[in-house]
């Protein structure tokens, strides 16, 4: 759990960097998913810790996704105002745009192609992929007791009990 908390703590100072990438989460799960058949009793005791570890990551990424969604809405409004000529004059000094887009379809095309909005949308989709993976991990952890019970039953069967 310490490793997860360190990664979460380090993220909050860097707004543009995801707190933990998908590869890191997959690597953590690859290590944590191994069940030692010689120590099934210890493995069963680790289930609550694993649940807590991955739920902590899940909840944090859920909150980050919501923050990204809010940011997307805010930036979308800013970009809408920019493309329709309603943004403050400073915005056009920084990023010249000689047109005032009036047609609703044209505005939507500009918004769809906008790099700032696209980057935020990709970030949201990335969070969605991470959350989907974590949901599957959490389901597997919830079923781990059944897997351990089956392993114990198999060992009993092999021993002739």
Contact 47, 144 (CB under 8 A): yes
Residue with more model confidence, 35 or 13? 35
pLDDT bucket at 13, cuts 50 / 70 / 90: very low
Question: Distance between CA atoms of 45 and 55, rounded to whole angstroms?
Answer: 17
E strands along the chain, which residues? Answer: none
pLDDT bucket at 16, cuts 50 / 70 / 90: very low
CB atoms near residue 99 (< 10 Å) = 10
- Whether residue 112 is predicted with pLDDT greater than 90 in this model: the reply is yes
Question: Can you give the pLDDT at residue 10?
Answer: 52
Question: Can you give the pLDDT at residue 18?
Answer: 44
Question: Distance between CA atoms of 8 and 142, rounded to whole angstroms?
Answer: 23
Contact 1, 53 (CB under 8 A): yes
Coil, strand or helix: which one is 86?
coil
First to last CA, the chain: 38
Query: Which residues are CB-contacts of 155 (< 8 A; sequence separation ≥ 6)?
Result: 37, 40
Question: Distance between CA atoms of 82 and 63, rounded to whole angstroms?
Answer: 28
């Amino acid at each position: 759990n310490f490793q997860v908390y360190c990664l979460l703590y380090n993220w909050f100072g860097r707004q543009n960097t995801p707190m933990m990438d998908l590869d890191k989460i997959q690597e953590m799960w690859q290590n944590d998913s191994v069940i030692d058949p010689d120590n099934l009793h210890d493995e069963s005791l680790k289930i609550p810790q694993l649940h807590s570890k991955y739920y902590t990551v899940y909840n944090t990424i859920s909150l980050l996704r919501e923050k990204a969604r809010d940011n997307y809405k805010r930036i979308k409004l800013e970009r809408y105002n920019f493309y329709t000529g309603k943004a403050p004059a400073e915005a056009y000094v920084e990023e010249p745009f000689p047109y005032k887009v009036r047609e609703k379809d044209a505005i939507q095309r500009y918004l769809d192609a906008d790099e700032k909005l696209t980057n935020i949308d990709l970030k949201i989709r990335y969070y969605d992929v991470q959350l989907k993976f974590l949901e599957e991990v959490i389901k597997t952890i919830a079923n781990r007791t059944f897997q351990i019970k089956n392993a114990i039953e198999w060992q009993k069967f092999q021993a002739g009990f």
